[in-house]
Every structure is written in C-alpha cells, then in structure tokens.
Amino acid sequence: MDEKLYLIKEGEISLKGGNRPLFEKRLRGNIKDKLGAFHPRIEKQKGRFYLRLDGDADDMIVGKALSTTFGITGFARAYELEKDPEVLDERVARLLPCSSFAEGGGTFKVDARREDKSFGMSSYEISCRLAGIVHEMYPEMTVDLKNPDHVLHVEVRKKIFIYTSDNKGPGGLPVQSAGRGMLLLSGGIDSPVAAFHMAKRGMKLDCIYFHAYPYTSELALEKVKKLASLIAPYLGGTRLYVVPFTDGQLKIRKEAFEDETTLMFRAAMMRTAEEIARKRNAGAIVTGEALSQVASQTLEAMSFTDSMTDLLVLRPLVGMDKEEIIDTAKRIGTYETSILPYEDCCVIFSPKHPVTHPVKDVSRRHYESLGMEDEIKKAVENTTVFYFNPMGEEEAINTP
Ligand code: ATP
Ligand code: MG
C-alpha cells in the first residue's frame, strides 16, 4: 500500500541533554495519539522525524494535527526517491506545479544537502541542476539565496528526500513532559490563551468551569465546551470539569460583604479547583489573569487567592497586555468563540464597587467565616466531566 511521508523538525528538545529521549518519546506518542487512524510509523534520523502514514491520510487533518503539537517547529510533506538523477529531475518537475512554486513569481532557492558522498553530484551541482528545471518551468522566478520566497529542499541520504512547503509548528515542548495542571477556563478571551502558554511548556492540562445555571445560561456552557474542544489539540486532549456553583454563588451573595463578593467567589473557586486537582494528581492551578486587567487582578487580590491553596498558582498572562493576548487568541483560533456574547458570570454576582486592595488576613477571616465547605463538597460531587480528544472531538468518558 502506498504511504505518505512527512518530515518533522523538533525545536527546543534538541537542546536537551540526557533526558532528550524521554522528550522525544513523548513527542512521538503525542503525534501517534492524533494520527492513529492512519497507522503512523515514526523514525528518527539526523535530527528529523520521518512520519509515515497510510496513503489515504488527509493532508488537512495531518496539517491540523502537526501544527498544534508542541515540540514541533516545522513539518513538510516529503517524497522519497531512488538515488538516480533522472528520477530526481522527473519527480521535481512533477512536484513544483503542486507547490507554492506554481505561483510562478518571486524568488527561490534550492537547498541541497548531500550526506551520502558516494552520490555522483555535489550539493552545489544538485542545486544548479534543479535550479535549471525551476527556471525552465517558471522563467520569471529569480534566485535569492538569503531570503527566498520559495525553497526546494533536497536531502541525499539512504534515499533522496525532496520537499517544498515548510509549515510552521508551534514550537515548545511536548505536553506531558512537564507535569499536570488544572486550568480555570471561563468563556472569556484570556483563559484559553493561558492554556496555550502552559501547554507550550509541556504541561498537561484539564479544564474546570464554574457554571451558575440558570444565572449563566446553557449557551454559556456550550461556549466553554467549544473553547475546550478548540484548545484540546494543543493540550493533547483535555477533560472539562463543569462544576455547578449556583448554590455557592447565592450563599456568597447573601452572606459576604458586598464589595468582597468577587474575592470570596474566587477564593471558593481556588478551594474547589484544589479538590479536583488532587483527584487528578495535578500540581498547579492555571488562570487567565493579567495584572491590573480588572479589579480582582491586583497584586493584593491575587496574593489573597494564592493563599487559598497550597498548589502552585500559575498565571502565564500576568505580564501581557490585552492586545498581545488577543493576537494569540486569533492565532490559535479561540478568539471568535470567546467574543460570543453569552456572559460567563452573571452581573447579579458582580459588586458595584469591588475591593481592589484587600488585606489578605482580613479577607481570609471573612472567607473562613462564610463556611463554604458544604457547598464545595456538594459542587465537587455533582461535577460533570466531558472529554475532548487530541483532535478536539468530544468523546464519552468512563471514569469521573
Ligand atoms: P477571561 O477572559 O479568561 O474570562 P477575564 O479577564 O474575564 O478572564 P475574570 O473574569 O476576572 O477575568 O477571570 C479571571 C480568571 O479566572 C479567568 O481567566 C479564568 O482563569 C478564571 N475564571 C473566571 N471565571 C471563571 C469560571 N466561571 N469558571 C472557571 N474559571 C473562571
Ligand atoms: Mg471572564
């Protein structure tokens, strides 16, 4: 059966020392998790992965899978040929019309590497020969060795490999190489981007959403599920824990000082997230907070919520401004969903004049005196779990 070949370049993993094989094993596993349907075979040679898939593998699906897999800096559909100059000429002539070269304008370069020195031509000779073919087919294209618009790669190894398109991967390190965290996922712009940044450093993430039905609508939950499915490919699959928190919210609204309601809610979120994190053996809670973005994101407020849990609280967006966050949200494809109008937290739970500079010990005392344990216990017991696989599809989950 014929097969499809892709060359994959790893990035930061190549800088790793003795534990590099572990990172590479993880990367292979993550690729296989996404493309299992096409029976992936992966070999490593000279700093490259050679991924072979069944001949009917869909390029769009493969593109989506690889462009969302951390640890990959670039990938390309490649062709493997016999080491025969005539075969090379013929295959290049067939490949160019199906590549970006077919646009016919601009500049190009042939990047030839010869590892097998017994091959009759030097790298330079290969480049000149193939540049001749390009010129013949696309006379208006000119050579630019420094900054070409299009590159034809030729690698002479055991066989000859040729490829043109060089797609970008997301870089970073393979997920599951750096521990496990719980993301507080709201329906906003920020938290999906926070997930992206932590997953990029190799963290495996599940998501938690606090749902205050009917104050937050069914549509708000659908929006959060959609966001979880959109980030799932970057996370190598993810669980979404939907915590019913209406009773907790109502208790806080009734019993807390009005200006502290948001703070108290955030404290309860931390405690609840910690419970769920322990079940999953997660060592960190991740949020989409950025310093001073809203009233509850001051140093004092963040320091207060940190004090509610022994787990590490990570805020990858803390030093970013909204523009930067929006740019990333657009790039990873979550922005359009995040800006849908369904509010993630109903206005009736938001105080008019929230405390911005809480005194940690005072607010902690206020929180403890609320006695939220029963509401939290009940919320955790009634949590519903969804699962989105590494390609972002919802799947049934058996274990809660
Ligand atoms: P976002 O754009 O991520 O919603 P935001 O700027 O609206 O953030 P907040 O609403 O104060 O800011 O939320 C700050 C962080 O708290 C969010 O990024 C998210 O991590 C978490 N969070 C807020 N609301 C919820 C919720 N209902 N469920 C889970 N996490 C939440
Ligand atoms: Mg929000």
Of the two residues 94 and 348, the one the predictor is more confident about is 94
Q: How far apart are CA 132 and CA 126, in angstroms?
A: 10
Q: Which of 281, 220, 282, 276 is nearest to 243 (CA)?
A: 276
Question: pLDDT per residue over 342-386, tens digit each?
Answer: 765 556 678 888 899 999 999 999 999 999 999 999 999 999 999
Residue 209 CA, ligand 1 centroid: distance in Å: 9
Cis ω on the peptide bond leading into residue 170 (within 30° of 0)? no
- Distance from residue 230's CA to the centre of ligand 1 (Å): 17
- What are the angstrom distances between the C-alpha of 193 and each of 58, 127, 190, 207, 390? 28, 42, 5, 13, 17
How distant, in Å, are the alpha carbons of 225, 269, 303, 342, 387 from that of 382? Answer: 18, 15, 29, 23, 16
Q: Is the CB of 88 under 6 A from ligand 1?
A: no
Residue owning the nearest CA to atom 24 of ligand 1: 186
Alpha-carbon Rg for the chain in angstroms? 26
Helices (H), 147-209: 190-200
Q: What residue has token string 């572990």?
A: 22
Nearest to 169 by CA among 73, 252, 95: 73
Minimal-distance CA residue to ligand 1 atom 31: 186
C-alpha distances (whole Å) from 261 to each of 37, 100, 212 are 49, 57, 15
Q: Probe ligand 1: pick from 182, 183, 184, 209, max atoms within 8 Å of CB?
A: 184
Distance 244 CA to ligand 1 centre (A): 16
Instruction: Read off the pTM.
Output: 0.93
DSSP element (H, E) containing 226 = helix 218-235
Segment 8-53, tens digit of pLDDT:
999 888 888 889 999 999 999 999 999 999 999 999 987 789 999 9
Give the residue whose CA is nearest to atom 22 of ligand 1: 186
225 CA distance to ligand 2 middle (Å): 15
pLDDT for res 332: 97
Ligand 1 atom closest to 183 (CA): 20
